[in-house]
A and B are shown apart, each in its own frame.
Chain A
């Protein structure tokens, strides 16, 4: 897998502001140096909803994206506002297929309000694009990084998302170029 000839597709599954999506795409483009397109998807999400857990199944959504966008040949990341889960975990902020073509990221757990803190749109935006870059990193074959400032550092806590930067460390940059 080489970055050469690759392109990225950001798919909006919620009501995201056009300006917000374009800004996100610009940051992602700068991060990977690859063309980034935006697509709007109107898929009915109720079929991915688990009433017992009151969350949306990230694995099923990834499968949908893989199938629906298979012809684009892009690294496709679905962007959501709803709370996501995978069967084995109580929640996920994002999820991607390792060295695969699809992933998902949700704003839900990135909002300050969830942690009893005042709303902060700028911070939310920063957290969101960091997680998108992180999941895209997995699709390009990057594992989690031990460097807390690297975007590939795993973020279990919201503080860890804030602690890391929106860029790859030297080691991960090297790996990415190799990939």
Chain B
């Protein structure tokens, strides 16, 4: 981070002081603004934040100490340096007690001022670096949540690996709860952009107007309630990646806006007129069939092709049931650690039931089931009764054993779209046995089922 990334506010009622300091810091490459009194300074702080604030302690209207307290409310992260023409131990102590970074007496020795600002700028830089590293650690941790050794998941992870190094737009498709956001994180964390932010926007959760201001930011007064200037998500994602979840839900107007930004990487804040440039990579996710939406004219074709450079499809959990045991072990470990409990095992019957289950809510549903089971369980193992299955498959006492077998085979066949290999695998019988059972029960593929 160079000085030009550090913003500085000078607050002093003497014009000559403001001008001198302004010039001094401009020469050092800082982004500098000046205020001639506390009121003006506080107004500026309401409109935007500053990294370093140099404030005179004696000013008409409101003294520097009082202003300092208010600054800490508006801009708690700011480094405040108090300046005064009268060296007084009491005021210095009070300012430092209130959290000021340092205290400097006018006129300053250039050496002292230079050292003080250099150290403060270093602290600003370290804070930003710390935050970036922390985000990076969080991102890397989250990748561990991608669990699976099924062929389908290995294919997905290979795609992640190859696409991560490029700058191409990616669309991640998959049913709700399959872990689309995790895949987006994995792409970001394995890319050259990993030290910059990954910004997530849940498009479906926001109205058109809110989404516009969320993505592009807004200027103070752009609309009712816009009390401050606010950076948009595109601006925040500079250098990094923006993840647009539920992209299929955005309106036609937003689709046009989005296409324009993706093409130019330039945009204007709502209520503003200055063009802002940002370098970001786009990853989108949806559980809808975008191609079909394009055919139905519900989604712009040009935007679809702009976004769909690479498509990664995450299979639903019911199509990779072999991953269930590994996922169960992973979630048991995750929740036992987070709840500070001893590691528990899983009862074979419970695991078997999970392997047979459809998981309409996919991995998210499985994760919630395990979390709940650990909370309500006996602390030793996850039992079938700890799992939130409805008292499903009500027992029909008039049903014979043959009826039960027939219905079960039919259900499995329908579930796997009458794919004999997969159905026989799920039923744990060989293909010949399955063919014999189909013949025996005269089972037929229903029309409309694939």
Contacts and interface: CB of A to CB of B under 8 A. Distances in A.
A87 B110 contact: no
A154 B28 contact: yes
Interface string A74-102: 00000000000111111110010110000
Contacts of A156: 110-111, 114
Interface string A140-166: 000110100000001011000000000
Nearest to B2: A146
B17 interface: yes
Contacts of A90: 107-110
B107 A95 contact: no
Contacts of A144: 3, 27-29
A111 interface: no
Interface stretch (B18-26, B197-205, B264-272): B18-26
A143 B27 contact: yes
Chain B interface size, under 10 / 10 to 19 / 20 to 34 / 35 or more: 20 to 34
Contacts, number: 57
A92 B27 CA distance: 14
A126 interface: no
A88 B28 contact: no
B28 A97 contact: no
Interface in B1-35: 2-4, 14, 16-17, 19-21, 23-24, 26-29
Nearest to B26: A98
Nearest to B111: A156
Contacts of A95: 23
A89 B29 contact: no
Interface in B381-400: none
Interface string A6-28: 00000000000000000000000
Contacts of B155: none
Given A98-B26, A138-B27, A143-B27, A88 B114 contact: no
Contacts of A91: 110
Contacts of B107: 53, 85, 87-90
Given A156-B111, A156-B114, A88 B20 contact: yes
B106 interface: yes
A143 B17 contact: no
B28 A157 contact: no
B276 interface: no
A140 to B, nearest CB: 12
A91 B23 CA distance: 15
B113 interface: yes
Report which residue of B19, B20, B27, B108 has the largest number of chain A beta carbons within 10 angstroms of its beta carbon.
B27
A56 to B, nearest CB: 14
A89 B109 contact: yes
Contacts of A85: 107
Contacts of B3: 143-144
Nearest to A146: B2
A46 B193 CA distance: 60
Given A88-B17, A89-B113, A98-B23, A143 B28 contact: yes
Interface in A105-159: 138, 143-144, 146, 154, 156-157
Nearest to B23: A98
A92 B21 CA distance: 12
A98 B20 CA distance: 11
Contacts of B110: 89-92, 156
A111 B3 CA distance: 31
A157 B14 CA distance: 28
A88 B108 CA distance: 6
Contacts of B28: 143-144, 154
A87 B21 CA distance: 10
A68 B107 CA distance: 29
Nearest to B30: A143
A89 B108 contact: yes
A4 to B, nearest CB: 24
Contacts of B114: 154, 156
Contacts of A89: 20, 24, 107-110, 113
29 contacts: A59-B20, A85-B107, A86-B20, A87-B16, A87-B17, A88-B17, A88-B21, A88-B24, A88-B106, A88-B108, A89-B108, A89-B109, A89-B113, A90-B107, A90-B108, A91-B110, A92-B110, A98-B27, A138-B27, A143-B3, A143-B28, A143-B29, A144-B3, A144-B28, A144-B29, A154-B27, A154-B114, A156-B110, A157-B111
Given A86-B20, A90-B108, A144-B3, 5 more contacts: A87-B16, A88-B16, A88-B108, A90-B109, A144-B28
Interface of B: 2-4, 14, 16-17, 19-21, 23-24, 26-29, 106-111, 113-114
